[in-house]
Every structure is written in structure tokens, then in C-alpha cells.
Chain A
Amino acid sequence: DGGITQSPKYLFRKEGQNVTLSCEQNLNHDAMYWYRQDPGQGLRLIYYSQIVNDFQKGDIAEGYSVSREKKESFPLTVTSAQKNPTAFYLCASSNQGVYEQYFGPGTRLTVT
């Protein structure tokens, strides 16, 4: 089955540690996105990538980093510089000429 996988589903970290969230897609989509979801705020774009080895900052990129070394993979690193990292993180992908985005199941990150 084609789709987007995110792992792990739940992640716990201590404050001050970097953590990397995985996102893999087998839809052969060109573009991939990372969103952050907080209660009552909808989804906010962190980073997106249209092609391999290229990515752009979204609205709330501070404290995050990404890489796009393979078309199928777009990992997100939440660094210790992110002041409020506890949130639900969603990865999505889309293809040229198709306007909707397809979402993974999400990773809930809790930092204490």
C-alpha cells in the first residue's frame, strides 16, 4: 500500500536534547512538508521541500532543521533551540499538478 509513514508514534525527550522525527513516503511524490499542530491553532508549516537536496523554511522554522537526501525521506530534527517543542508533528507530501497534500499518521513529541 502506498502511503506516508512516521515513526515513532510517541516520543519522549528531556529538555536540551535534539531529537529526529522520521518521515518516509512511497507515493513517488516530489514535495514533502512538515507541520506542527498545537491545540486550537490548526497546523503551521515548519519546512517544505520540492525536490531532493533542496528545502525552504516555512512559517515557524526556528529551532528546527531538515534534510532531503532521498526523494522518499524527509527527516525533521527538533533542536534544543526550539523553545516549546512539545506538539504533534505531521508530515505530508504532494505531487506536481495535484493540489492536495497527503498526511502521515503523526508523531507526538513530549519534552520534559
Chain B
Amino acid sequence: AQSVTQLDSQVPVFEEAPVELRCNYSSSVSVYLFWYVQYPNQGLQLLLKYLSGSTLVESINGFEAEFNKSQTSFHLRKPSVHISDTAEYFCAVTLGGYNKLIFGAGTRLAVHP
């Protein structure tokens, strides 16, 4: 069975500082990996995904994540955060097709001025 662990429940950071949100997964087979972002009282929006190919994937708003198969990790990073990045971030895995997404518990990123 697959599982996802997000190592930090909350990450406070000052504006323009770098941030890393950690995600580790366990699976005996290959998986597809995702980061979703959720703003207060809203649904989830896909931030970025790893399906195959380059292990470094980027989003349009400056986030990036690196798939590390040996460490079974998919950490999310941003070199300089903005107030508007304040949200909850979820890491998720799936076996693909119509298999369910398995989510981590989420990391609440709080960006302070």
C-alpha cells in the first residue's frame, strides 16, 4: 500500500525567504506524484506534477519539486516566497489510471511580512 508523509504540519517563513516543504512517500511500485495548493475555504488546485522524465518539475508561479527515487521524496521548494503563497500544501501519489490519490496530511505555509 502507498502512503505519504509530510514532515512539517506548519512552516512559518518571512516574505522573500526561501522555503522547502518536505514530502516522503512509500510504495513498492512506481507512482506518480503531485503537489496541490489549497487557499482558505477553497478546493485544491494542482501546483505541479511528476509523471516521468526530468526529475525536476516547475510551476508557473516559481515553485519547483524534485523527485528523488532513492530517497522516495518529492520536496517542494521556492527560492523567494510572497505573502500570497500563504496556503495549505498537499503532497499526493497515485498509481495512475483511475487509482485513487493518496494524500499527505498537509503543510500549512504561513508567510509573514
A interface with B by C-beta (< 8 Å):
4, 6, 9, 30-31, 33, 40-45, 48, 50, 58, 90, 92, 94, 96, 99-106, 108
Contacts and interface: CB of A to CB of B under 8 A. Distances in A.
Interface stretch (B53-61, B66-74, B100-108): B100-108
Contact of A99 (B36, B41, B42, B94): B94
**Range of interface residues on B (Cβ < 8 Å):** 20 to 34
Contacts, number: 58
B46 A100 contact: yes
A31 B103 CA distance: 18
Given A99-B32, A99-B49, A106 B43 contact: yes
A42 B101 contact: no
Contacts of B90: 42-43
B43 A105 contact: yes
B105 A106 contact: no
Given A90-B43, A103-B44, A106-B43, A50 B9 contact: no
Most buried by B among A45, A92, A100, A108: A100
A94 B32 CA distance: 14
A104 B32 contact: no
A41 B100 contact: no
B53 to A, nearest CB: 14
B11 interface: no
Contacts of B83: none
